[in-house]
Chain A
Amino acid sequence: ANAHMPAENDTLAFSLHDKMDVVFYHVPSIPLCPRDARCSLQPVLSFCMMVMMTLLVSISDPQPVSLSRPPQAKSCVCHMCGAHLNRLHSCLYCVFFGCFTKKHIHEHAKNKRHNLAIDLLYGGIYCFVCQDYIYDKEMEQIAKEEQRKASHILSLALCLAIVFFTDFFPVVCVCVCVSGVGEKYSTWEPTKRELELLRHNPKRRKMTTNCTIGLRGLINLGNTCFMNCIVQALTHTPLLRDFFLSDRHKCEMQSNSCLVCEMSQLFQEFYSGHRSPHIPFRLLHLVWTHARHLAGYEQQDAHEFLIAALDVLHRHCKDDNGKKANNPNNCNCIIDQIFTGGLQSDVTCQVCHGVSTTIDPFWDISLDLPGSSTPFWPLSPGGDGSTLNGESHLSGATTLTDCLRRFTRPEHLGSGAKIKCSGCHSYQESTKQLTMKKLPIVACFHLKRFEHSAKLRRKIITYVSFPLELDMTPFMASSKENRMNGQYQQSVDVFNDNKYSLFAVVNHQGTLESGHYTTFIRQHMDQWFKCDDAIITKASNKDVLDSEGYLLFYHKQFLEYE
């Protein structure tokens, strides 16, 4: 796998059999151990150290997996005591596995004067002369490459020990393939260019637990708190922040009217460390340009602003991905990656029980509240799962979970709203049920406090209790299927992907005619701050959870690497 020309005593690479390539790497004759000149392993190396990347072997055909695991299970044990635990190491000179903890590999090293061994679990190379693990650049590169290849293989474990004895030197090839469940995480290492940039810009900003970087007030430009509150929530959305701070937006818009660029600027302002409030006049102007319905100095609805902002950002983002066609179902822009979920709607015909399913994308979930003119299903506080998320029930208060249960309950569409059933070929009464097919990384819940019906315009001030941690499992489409099949989904599942943490709350004080928006945002895991236009103050968990709540922003707890 590398271009070194084999020298006189080198062993060459070859395949063991069709399905598996065991790769032999020739390590050039350099002193392997940089710390101790005694370790200059020149003689050994020129013997052709077959340093096998013992961790991983890329296997093209996964079929032999079931055949290859038993050998690993049997042969990956210490040759002295038979144990498979205790930090098993493999000698790099001959076929010998020994435990590190019980010093069996040490004995072997001493007796045979084989001074190098490799850790079978992590691939670290141990030098018995230096009495420590050593690092060789070329080896590290090989390890990284092999690990990357292997992580593409799902659930494979293979160990093969092969010994080849030639006239002059024993060669050992040991390869252990570790299964990868998805892409293996590797820590960031700077490129040459990045190192250069770091050297030329020596100023460092350290994020300690008490630093206030990221917190900045926003001047109110005339009833613009509806915009300010959303900006606070967005600038504290971790993934969005990471996207903009790592400069991932490459603008292809000609004019200066790209909202994504402006967002990028905004993040720079917020994380600059400046403490004076920022004046978002450019942002306001761009919003007025691109979302005419929000222009003007009247108070607008923060929720409407959120949706409009996400929409414009999404439209302006499309160029980042080189996708020419802005297909709403196929966009991979940062907005979609973070905010877009899938809402499943199942319509069941009451006659033939045929189900017609559609899935629609959503950026937020709008929840009806008790006291609105739409009938709210009064769920008793002690009902099943109502304490699922540890929400407080202050004298029978409605919880967010109650609202979500109502949102996902089967609804009987009355005789005035018959659906054409493809099974019955006629109009029939049906029930409709909404569930979550795909959850977004950031889930935004909109409590419908503003009622604009023909009869009245009013604000519903009913207290709705919401939790710090939310488990969306009961509202998933998959849970519904399980319930229908009689299985109850445990929310203590192995890779429960449905857990969310609250990170921002937008509140509205006042009446429909004259009101004011503020936001609570979460910083450093457990610190909350209240953002009231230009004024930022520290807040407690209680302040947040006792607040009325209008827009609730939740972030997925665990993210998989793609």
Chain B
Amino acid sequence: MSKDSKMRATINQKLTEMGERERLKELLRAKLTECGWRDQLKAHCKDVIKEKGLEHVTVEDLVVEITPKGRVLVPDSVKKELLQRIRAFLAQHAT
């Protein structure tokens, strides 16, 4: 594992252990619903299903279509806030 992914894993471990990961997930969920991200992607899902046909579409089709769009549509303010929260948390619990 590269150094980068090692660090990722360590951070994730810490976040999970302290339950912070779940709290952050809830925060993210709320923020993304609030800014309309969820609705945008839901609409996009519907479009994909219409395009591929309800009988033939697979979950993977949706994942492939939605993931890049979803990533792009996350507002910078939300990213900033999450990042801030993680930083603050790590600073608080640094070993």
Decide yes or no: A132 and B22 within 8 Å by CB, A72-B16, A157-B16 being known contacts: no
Closest B residue to A77 using CB positions:
B9
Give me the 9 closest cross-chain CB pairs, A-B, nearest first: A179-B22, A73-B16, A73-B13, A132-B58, A155-B19, A133-B59, A69-B17, A181-B26, A73-B17
Docked pose: A131 CA to B9 CA in angstroms: 29
Q: Is the Cβ of A69 less than 8 Å from the Cβ of B19?
A: yes
Q: Does B5 make an interface contact (CB < 8 A)?
A: yes
Contacts of A495 in B (CB 8 A): 27, 30
Q: Does B1 make an interface contact (CB < 8 A)?
A: yes
Docked pose: A65 CA to B19 CA in angstroms: 10
Closest A residue to B1 using CB positions:
A82
Q: Is the Cβ of B60 less than 8 Å from the Cβ of A74?
A: no
B53 to chain A, nearest CB (A): 14
What does the 1/0 interface line of A58-82 toward B look like (CB < 8 Å)? 0000000100011011101100011
Q: Does A148 make an interface contact (CB < 8 A)?
A: no
Q: Does A195 make an interface contact (CB < 8 A)?
A: no
Q: Is the Cβ of A124 less than 8 Å from the Cβ of B59?
A: yes
Contacts of A81 in B (CB 8 A): 1
What does the 1/0 interface line of B1-14 toward A look like (CB < 8 Å)? 10001001100111
Q: Is the Cβ of B9 less than 8 Å from the Cβ of A82?
A: yes
Chain A residues at the B interface, C-beta cutoff of 8 Å: 65, 69-70, 72-74, 76-77, 81-85, 124, 131-133, 155-157, 178-179, 181, 494-495, 558
Docked pose: A145 CA to B4 CA in angstroms: 39
B80 to chain A, nearest CB (A): 11
Closest A residue to B10 using CB positions:
A73
A5 to chain B, nearest CB (A): 34
Q: Is the Cβ of A83 less than 8 Å from the Cβ of B5?
A: yes
B76 to chain A, nearest CB (A): 15
Docked pose: A181 CA to B19 CA in angstroms: 11
Q: Does B44 make an interface contact (CB < 8 A)?
A: no
Q: Is the Cβ of A132 less than 8 Å from the Cβ of B60?
A: yes
Docked pose: A131 CA to B14 CA in angstroms: 35
- Chain B: interface residue total (CB-CB under 8 A): 21
Q: Does B23 make an interface contact (CB < 8 A)?
A: yes
B34 to chain A, nearest CB (A): 8
Decide yes or no: A74 and B22 within 8 Å by CB, A83-B5, A494-B27 being known contacts: no
Q: Is the Cβ of A132 less than 8 Å from the Cβ of B59?
A: yes
Closest B residue to A156 using CB positions:
B19
A-contacting residues, B46-76, CB 8 Å:
58-60
Contacts of A76 in B (CB 8 A): 16
Contacts of B60 in A (CB 8 A): 131-132
Decide yes or no: A84 and B1 within 8 Å by CB, A73-B16, A73-B17 being known contacts: no
Closest A residue to B27 using CB positions:
A494
B69 to chain A, nearest CB (A): 16
Q: Is the Cβ of A84 less than 8 Å from the Cβ of B9?
A: yes
B38 to chain A, nearest CB (A): 12
Decide yes or no: A70 and B22 within 8 Å by CB, A82-B9, A558-B30 being known contacts: no
A406 to chain B, nearest CB (A): 31
What are 28 A-B pairs at a CB distance below 8 A? A69-B16, A69-B19, A70-B17, A73-B12, A73-B13, A73-B17, A82-B1, A82-B5, A82-B9, A83-B1, A83-B8, A83-B9, A84-B8, A85-B8, A124-B59, A131-B60, A132-B59, A133-B58, A155-B22, A155-B23, A157-B21, A178-B22, A181-B22, A181-B23, A494-B27, A495-B27, A495-B30, A558-B34
